[in-house]
């Protein structure tokens, strides 16, 4: 396997008494797209929310185990530092409604009090919006509010906002499930492009999506990691019968 950027060791997550993730061990390779799939309620979202430490903000949440980003255990780092290195894109597009498109892209800098010169700002905005394929669509309305864009454009703006901070890892929580098929296809294309510079971990309940865009796939069931392997292998010759049953649509 290629060099790994994230290493999850014996991760357990709880909501009050509910044991949501059980002894997860996972190595996520660098500059690849890793998909996490599984039926509803299997803990996919909880898993990626553990990776940027958003999980612990939910009521009753508890975590044991370790997650290493490169060689540092993120549970021994400040959550704010972790979240700057590990970006996240959510299920529903959520650009900041009070900010313009321009400010949305820069929000990671502005809200964190990082000062940039005008040239640096403009460079980051243009470069990032080009990366997400939004530049040509919005270059004349950079100072309009981001909420006036279409759903798919908003989601690409949210991706721009996350990658503007040059994170090591980009987490995506079902980023296309609230979008129409054409916008979803654009986002998928974008994800394939993003892996040149970023490591992407994407949660999806859409099997076709996982097979189309990911290099590696993890299959979660009832909080347990059933199987993790190259996507090709998972979809053609899974080693666990439960994976096969899931792929055949016998449950989930």
- Asked if residue 87 binds other proteins (CB under 8 A), the reply is yes
Q: d(Cα 194, Cα 85) in Å, to the nearest integer?
A: 16
Residue 113 vs 249, nearer CB to other proteins: 113
> Are residues 31 and 215 in contact, defined by beta-carbon separation less than 8 angstroms?
no
Site residues (CB under 8 A) for other proteins, limited to 66-85: 80-84
DSSP 100: B
Binder of other proteins out of 3, 40, 57, 250 (CB under 8 A): 57
In the bound complex, what is the minimum distance in angstroms from residue 181's beta carbon to other proteins? Answer: 23
- Asked if residue 116 binds other proteins (CB under 8 A), the reply is no
- Asked if residue 166 binds other proteins (CB under 8 A), the reply is no
> Are residues 30 and 4 in contact, defined by beta-carbon separation less than 8 angstroms?
yes
Residue corresponding to tokens 């990691």: 225
> Are residues 53 and 79 in contact, defined by beta-carbon separation less than 8 angstroms?
yes
- Asked if residue 161 binds other proteins (CB under 8 A), the reply is yes
In the bound complex, what is the minimum distance in angstroms from residue 122's beta carbon to other proteins? Answer: 20
Residues ≥6 apart with Cβ < 8 Å to 58: 15, 49
Query: Which residues contribute to the site for other proteins (CB under 8 A)?
Result: 52, 54, 57, 80-84, 87-88, 90, 92, 94-98, 107-108, 111-113, 145, 147-148, 158, 161-162, 165
């Amino acid at each position: 396997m290629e060099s790994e950027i994230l290493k999850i060791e014996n991760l357990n997550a709880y909501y009050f008494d509910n044991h949501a993730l059980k002894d997860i061990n996972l190595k996520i390779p660098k500059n690849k797209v890793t998909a996490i799939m599984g039926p509803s309620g299997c803990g996919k979202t909880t898993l990626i929310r553990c990776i940027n430490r958003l999980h612990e903000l939910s009521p009753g949440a508890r975590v044991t185990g370790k997650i290493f980003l490169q060689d540092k255990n993120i549970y021994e780092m400040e959550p704010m530092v972790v979240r700057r290195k590990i970006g996240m894109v959510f299920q529903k597009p959520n650009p900041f409604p009070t900010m313009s498109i321009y400010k949305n892209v820069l929000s990671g800098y502005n809200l964190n009090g990082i000062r940039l010169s005008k040239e640096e700002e403009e460079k980051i905005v243009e470069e990032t919006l080009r990366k997400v394929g939004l530049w040509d669509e919005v270059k004349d309305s950079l100072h309009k509010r981001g909420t006036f864009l279409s759903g798919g454009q908003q989601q690409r703006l949210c991706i721009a906002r996350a990658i503007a901070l040059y994170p090591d890892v980009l987490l995506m929580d079902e980023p296309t499930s609230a979008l129409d098929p054409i916008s979803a296809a654009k986002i998928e294309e974008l994800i394939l492009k993003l892996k040149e510079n970023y490591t992407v971990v994407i949660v999806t309940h859409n099997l076709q999506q996982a097979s189309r865009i990911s290099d590696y796939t993890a299959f979660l069931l009832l909080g347990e990691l059933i199987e993790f392997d190259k996507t090709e292998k998972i979809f053609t010759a899974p080693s666990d019968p439960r994976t096969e049953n899931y792929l055949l649509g016998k449950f989930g």
